[in-house]
């Protein structure tokens, strides 16, 4: 996203560097926060997906109002925080329902997550 923000003229290059740092800080923060939420893995995953959907709607609304700078920062913050643990949760969600993951099943899930 920072690359698109600079190319579209919404932000300067220094702001793009800041956005990258904010993204990784928010990703780490999201993982730490999820460690302390005592809930089942499917509920955590549903919570993160619901938050992503809500933040996406908010981003579209803000973009409609032409708040480009706010969209750049809020998009990076929400994406970093809410995407932080989805990759790991998708692997553990199958195990939480009692499925045993073999090496080939794990490889298939990895390929699917990379392609999607």
C-alpha 57: how far from chain center: 15
**pLDDT, tens digit (0-9, with 9 covering 90-100), for 10-64:** 777 777 778 888 888 888 888 888 888 888 777 888 888 898 899 999 999 998 9
* Helix (H/G/I), strand (E/B), else coil: 98: coil
Return d(Cα 30, Cα 34) in angstroms, integer: 6
Q: How many helices (H) and strands (E) does the chain have?
A: 6, 0
Q: Output the pTM of the full model.
A: 0.71
What is the pLDDT at residue 15?
77
At 109, list the tokens: 């899930």
- Which pLDDT belongs to residue 58? 94
Structural contact between residues 93 and 45, judged by C-beta atoms closer than 8 angstroms: yes
Q: How far apart are CA 19 and CA 25, in angstroms?
A: 10
């Amino acid at each position: 996203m920072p690359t698109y923000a600079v190319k579209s003229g919404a932000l300067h290059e220094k702001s793009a560097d800041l956005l990258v740092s904010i993204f990784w800080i928010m990703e780490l923060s999201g993982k730490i926060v999820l460690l302390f939420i005592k809930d089942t893995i499917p509920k955590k995953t549903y919570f993160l997906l619901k938050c992503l959907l809500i933040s996406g709607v908010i981003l579209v609304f803000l973009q409609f109002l032409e708040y480009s700078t706010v969209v750049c920062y809020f998009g990076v913050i929400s994406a970093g925080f809410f995407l932080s643990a989805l990759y790991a949760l998708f692997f553990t969600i199958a195990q939480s329902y009692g499925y045993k993951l073999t090496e080939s099943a794990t490889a298939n899930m990895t390929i699917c997550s990379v392609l999607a």
